[in-house]
Structure 1
Amino acid sequence: MGVGILISVAGISAVVVVEIMPMQRVRELNLIYKYVAVTISVLWQIPQNFLLGASKVFMFAGQVEFLYDQSLDAMRSLCTTLPLVSFALGNYLNSLILTVVIHFTTQGRKLGWILDNLNEGHLDYFFWLLAGLSFLNLLVYIVTAKNYKKKKAIAIF
């Protein structure tokens, strides 16, 4: 699971790098306040999608194995569905984070980070925030994993 979280930090950081590329081009061409699309190759999305997909694979497999191994025998089938619930809750949490970011970055008549005109916005800041939260998640995971007491196996003969 820790490997999955670490890969997700790398994946979100790759998203930031890909987002910064068109923003640099926008500034070079002085298109900030114009509704002009600045394109880059779609192939730039391959590394970030690979990393984020790999992180989900590591997380899902690790969570299922951990929950199956550490849950009570009567709870195993229920516990193996929890990784899917965690992914769904993660999507809802992302929507909440997006709403909070929009609210706080538009205070005081500021434009905010996320705008209809991506040339004016700072979507890269939002992705840096997600990368930072993912890194914080990794730190919490490390502390929790170090302090976790494994369930003792009960041998019945």
Structure 2
Amino acid sequence: MGLFFSVAGMAAAALIERHRQNTSEHGVTLSVFLLMPQFVLVGAGEAFTYMGQLDFFLRECPKGMKTMSTGLFLSTCALGFFFSTLLVTIVDKVTGHNGHGGWLADNLNDGRLDYFYWLLGVISAINLVLFTVAARGYVYKEKRLADAGIELADEETIAVGH
């Protein structure tokens, strides 16, 4: 769900940015509330994605490595931030002309930020497809162990000592 919201948020951002560019040519000012759809969609997407990812790490890791799985989760977030910085740098180098203009120009009216949002939407859509393919083939730990004839003890039972 979170990955879908991410795609929708980037599409909304691209459409709203294009609308902003068209209206700025005519001297029309827009309300800041036009930014709400994309912020709500991206925020909801991150919430769903982060909760699902953390739950997956905690559910699938061995009992003694719960803390390590949280660290792995945070490491994936950090890698995402590094990747986004790299992507911005690449887009700026590829689309900029002698250090001026490009998609990410210093002046919003000179740039094509809507193209950048579409690029992020396409990358998010590819991510959603790849995730769906990987998720369909994944077998959860309980099922793998059950197929091997191993029964997991309930963690609550272990904690109480029954």
Shorter chain as normaliser: what TM range? Answer: 0.7 to 0.9
Which stretch of structure 1 is more off in the superposition, 52-61 or 134-143?
A: 52-61
Shift of 1:150: 2.0
TM-score (normalised: structure 1)? 0.83
1:130 is matched with 120
Name the CA shift for 1:150/1:41 in 2 (closer, same or farther; >3 Å): same
Cα deviation code 1:38-65 (max 9, x no counterpart): 6311111111111111111111111111
Q: Provide the rounded CA distance (Å) in 1 between the counterparts of 2:101 and 2:40.
A: 33
Which stretch of structure 1 is more off in the superposition, 46-55 or 129-138?
A: 46-55
Q: Provide the rounded CA distance (Å) in 1 between the counterparts of 2:72 and 2:37.
A: 28
Which stretch of structure 1 is more off in the superposition, 133-142 or 78-87?
A: 78-87
Alignment coverage as a number of residue pairs: 147
1:8 is matched with 6
Q: Note the aligned Cα RMSD (angstroms).
A: 2.1
Which of 6, 15, 18 matches 2:16?
18
Query: Is 1:121 paired with 2:111?
Result: yes
- The runs of 4+ residues in structure 1 deviating greater than 4 Å are 107-110
Query: Is 1:50 paired with 2:40?
Result: yes
Which of 40, 60, 64 matches 2:30?
40
Question: Once the two structures are aligned, what percentage of the paired residues are identical?
Answer: 36
Shift of 1:84: 2.6
**Partner SS for 2:89:** helix
Which stretch of structure 1 is more off in the superposition, 17-26 or 147-156?
A: 147-156
Structure 2 unaligned spans of 5+: 154-162
Structure with higher RCO (Cα < 8 A, 6+ apart)? 1
Which of 49, 64, 70 matches 1:80?
70
Q: Which amino acid aligns with 1:120?
A: D
Q: Which amino acid aligns with 1:9?
A: V
Q: Which amino acid aligns with 2:8?
A: A
Which of 132, 152, 155 matches 2:151?
155
Name the CA shift for 1:17/1:147 in 2 (closer, same or farther; >3 Å): same
Q: Provide the rounded CA distance (Å) in 2 between the counterparts of 1:60 and 1:13.
A: 21
Structure 1 unaligned spans of 5+: 32-37
**Partner SS for 2:39:** helix
Q: Which amino acid aligns with 1:155?
A: E
Structure number with bigger Rg: 2
